[in-house]
Structure 1
């Protein structure tokens, strides 16, 4: 059997997780082979323009030489010294069961290109037990005692390169030899390392981190929904509760989205239920957070009706198509806009979409009409501002009143425009958490 190529590491999957990792390893002096089956991804990288927004990534791509970072659609014939799997995982939209097809395909490919000295690192987010029960048997078809570790990523879009270096790196390995090899591999880019006792613990760390975030935000949103029903201002309640109180702060309400937070709690639920325990808190937080886009839309529809306007004849602009505004991203996976467009499709006269980062083609793909702010607000009945991107601060009362139909209906998910619009004659201002 061939021996590993000296000092070569292969990264499978060059998306939001894999590309920052691959380029960081190349910058640290490693020869990196980046593998992606999507020809569009490879063409974009060859042109020096990654297909997604991440500050510093284009400059880093330009700085590494072509011999340092090689982009291809396949693993080399000679087994690399290390292979890192960074492909995406998903859950079924209806059943919320894990969809591990891409991971299984990647692990199957990897198993055909390893030697006994090849370290395989799983970085994809997976249900607890996946590395041992899915990946390991595939590797053992080729190697009797493979080297295997789980090293979950916990970076966020917009700060990926910085967090890759600054965040503690969780490492769980199959055995001591796998652990030591993994520590050496990642040390040049992730010096702060936290070792856990096995693969399963490392898998669970990632899931509980995101489920915990979902829980925290979920309770803030629960306060918002209760406050709206009770005629109370949720932000006032939360601010007063937090002020000089020596207990954990309550989170302000806002939409919880993105590819991780809409998926990882379900992966954790699946893992626990498979072991005989159904976690009610995780499931409840997800249900609350998933209700927020519908609440926003219902608020706008009711406000339209209160002023004698039908949804069928209305023009509505969605401000913010990406799932978040800070740090800015062009990622629309798990965004409130996607959910609202799906509910409004075919029910509204004009449905416009605006984003400072997401391109027109992507806005069209989700089912909205790409528009500038001026075009989208001209004769609009309602604005749903779904993200807190700071550039939406240009939307003052004069900007809206000179363009929108009166009264101008505004639903502001994050309260970004509250000081500028609340109480202004001619504007029906609504936000999450205020009746």
Structure 2
């Protein structure tokens, strides 16, 4: 029987889960080490963008959801939702937060508390890092791995709609985990071990990275032969009963940017060649596009010094909309633009002006982005950009180049306004070589 539950870590994963559990009748304690995050949540302000989350917080805060700096006593379950980054210099997993959460739970709780690892981790982490802290303090433990698999922008809905994977240390742990997540979700899928559940999450995310990398590889090959990659993708997918090819585009976010490295860290006996190659392709793409944009500007203007580039879409994705900058394409692009001497204007429907400034951009309105720019680079496919009024914004400006990464604008309207149009792996026949 579960009543009092703590969720450790109030980021995207933890906060949405805490709100979902609180809505389902549990007494939930959201624990976070950041005073800023705690203060914001305690006042009912959500510090991240997720549709439906603010409403859930309004419904539950102070009645079934409570924000705490530390774990309270008497918990039936403690769920670890802390970040598991990779180190920038080595790309090796940094499990400091996982170890700290396990130590905190071991100190504050007891052997009857069900401990759930929700964070994405290398295979074996629950058993090697979390379990020893618990058994050292208690002698025995109830431990479950139940990976988060929601997508940002749809997390509140997918908490209930997606099957929840549950692997346990033993049968009793797994059964307890199934009972807990069975209240939250329509379907629970038990697996045989902690390791199986850990690998499910990595398998899902690395497969997605592979799919997108292949779409990007096709686009670059198509571009080398003067072929439209979207034509190839559409024709290949048309009524063909095999897995669809992905459209080309940037791959970011906290999960796809790091989980392939967690996958690699899970396989010390061999190198996961496919996953590593896919990650390399997807990481190289933003730099290749940035270099192409700089090269086109140089051709069109005779140089880049003093040129202005408007970048639309700073978040790592546009649909479902998010304000998340982790793994965003603009981050590796900015050094390329800065070396070329470009002034970079920034616009995003959700990313704040302060964040754009912190990444080296000058935040502007859409009107100003077009009126002051020599080139426009569209980096994500937010609905606002899909509906961009090209015929209103572009004519009469000094924009010479529109690089439409997601091919969401009307090419003919862009060209009719006198601008060169280009996309990933695509350049109209007969235009700039």
TM-score by length of 2: 0.95
Query: Match for 1:125 among 120, 135, 145?
Result: 120
Shifted more, 327-336 versus 410-419: the winner is 410-419
| Equivalent position SS for 1:253 | coil
Cα displacement (A) at 1:346: 5.5
Cα displacement (A) at 1:338: 1.8
Identify the residue that residue 393 of structure 2 maps to in structure 1. Answer: 399
Cα displacement (A) at 1:113: 1.2
Q: Indicate if the aligned counterparts of 1:421 and 1:429 stay in contact, CA closer than 8 A.
A: no
In structure 2, how many angstroms separate the alpha carbons of the residues matched to 1:111 and 1:420? Answer: 63
Identify the residue that residue 411 of structure 1 maps to in structure 2. Answer: 403
| Equivalent position SS for 2:108 | coil
In structure 2, how many angstroms separate the alpha carbons of the residues matched to 1:367 and 1:223? Answer: 32
Give the count of matched residue pairs. 426
Identify the residue that residue 35 of structure 1 maps to in structure 2. Answer: 31
Identify the residue that residue 83 of structure 1 maps to in structure 2. Answer: 78
Structure 2 residue runs of 5 or longer lacking an equivalent are 428-433
Cα displacement (A) at 1:230: 1.7
| Equivalent position SS for 2:216 | helix
For residues 343-382 of structure 1, what are the structure 2 equivalents within 5 Å? Answer: 343-345=336-338, 347-382=340-375
Query: Match for 1:169 among 154, 160, 164?
Result: 164
In structure 2, how many angstroms separate the alpha carbons of the residues matched to 1:202 and 1:50? Answer: 30
For residues 262-411 of structure 1, what are the structure 2 equivalents within 5 Å? Answer: 262-272=257-267, 274=268, 276-345=269-338, 347-392=340-385, 393-405=387-399, 408-411=400-403
In structure 2, how many angstroms separate the alpha carbons of the residues matched to 1:425 and 1:231? Answer: 23
Question: 4+ residue runs of structure 1 moved beyond 6 angstroms?
Answer: none
Q: Indicate if the aligned counterparts of 2:334 and 2:360 stay in contact, CA closer than 8 A.
A: yes
Identify the residue that residue 45 of structure 1 maps to in structure 2. Answer: 41
Query: Match for 1:196 among 191, 205, 213?
Result: 191
Cα displacement (A) at 1:67: 3.5
Identify the residue that residue 431 of structure 2 maps to in structure 1. Answer: none
In structure 2, how many angstroms separate the alpha carbons of the residues matched to 1:309 and 1:189? Answer: 60
Cα displacement (A) at 1:308: 3.3
Q: Indicate if the aligned counterparts of 2:390 and 2:414 stay in contact, CA closer than 8 A.
A: no
| Equivalent position SS for 1:195 | strand
Cα displacement (A) at 1:401: 2.4
In structure 2, how many angstroms separate the alpha carbons of the residues matched to 1:402 and 1:33? Answer: 56
Q: Indicate if the aligned counterparts of 1:114 and 1:142 stay in contact, CA closer than 8 A.
A: no
In structure 1, how many angstroms separate the alpha carbons of the residues matched to 2:376 and 2:233? Answer: 26
For residues 8-23 of structure 1, what are the structure 2 equivalents within 5 Å? Answer: 8-23=4-19
Shifted more, 166-175 versus 291-300: the winner is 291-300
Identify the residue that residue 73 of structure 1 maps to in structure 2. Answer: 69
1:301-323 deviation line (CA, Å, top 9, x unaligned): 11112123422211011100101
In structure 2, how many angstroms separate the alpha carbons of the residues matched to 1:28 and 1:209? Answer: 27
Identify the residue that residue 251 of structure 1 maps to in structure 2. Answer: 246
Q: Indicate if the aligned counterparts of 1:397 and 1:420 stay in contact, CA closer than 8 A.
A: no
Cα displacement (A) at 1:327: 0.8
| Equivalent position SS for 1:33 | strand
Cα displacement (A) at 1:398: 4.1
| Equivalent position SS for 2:255 | coil
Query: Match for 1:215 among 194, 210, 216?
Result: 210
Q: Indicate if the aligned counterparts of 1:42 and 1:71 stay in contact, CA closer than 8 A.
A: yes
Q: Indicate if the aligned counterparts of 1:214 and 1:256 stay in contact, CA closer than 8 A.
A: yes
In structure 1, how many angstroms separate the alpha carbons of the residues matched to 2:299 and 2:275? Answer: 36
Q: Indicate if the aligned counterparts of 2:294 and 2:337 stay in contact, CA closer than 8 A.
A: no
Cα displacement (A) at 1:402: 2.4
Distance change >3 Å, CA 218–CA 421, structure 1 → 2: farther
Query: Match for 1:237 among 232, 236, 243?
Result: 232
| Equivalent position SS for 2:47 | coil
In structure 1, how many angstroms separate the alpha carbons of the residues matched to 2:260 and 2:245? Answer: 20
Identify the residue that residue 430 of structure 2 maps to in structure 1. Answer: none
Structure 1 residue runs of 5 or longer lacking an equivalent are none
Cα displacement (A) at 1:422: 5.3
In structure 2, how many angstroms separate the alpha carbons of the residues matched to 1:166 and 1:124? Answer: 19
TM-score by length of 1: 0.95
Alpha-carbon RMSD: 1.5
Shifted more, 415-424 versus 162-171: the winner is 415-424
Q: Indicate if the aligned counterparts of 2:388 and 2:409 stay in contact, CA closer than 8 A.
A: no
1:99 aligns with 2:94: yes
Cα displacement (A) at 1:354: 0.5
1:112-132 deviation line (CA, Å, top 9, x unaligned): 112120110000000000000
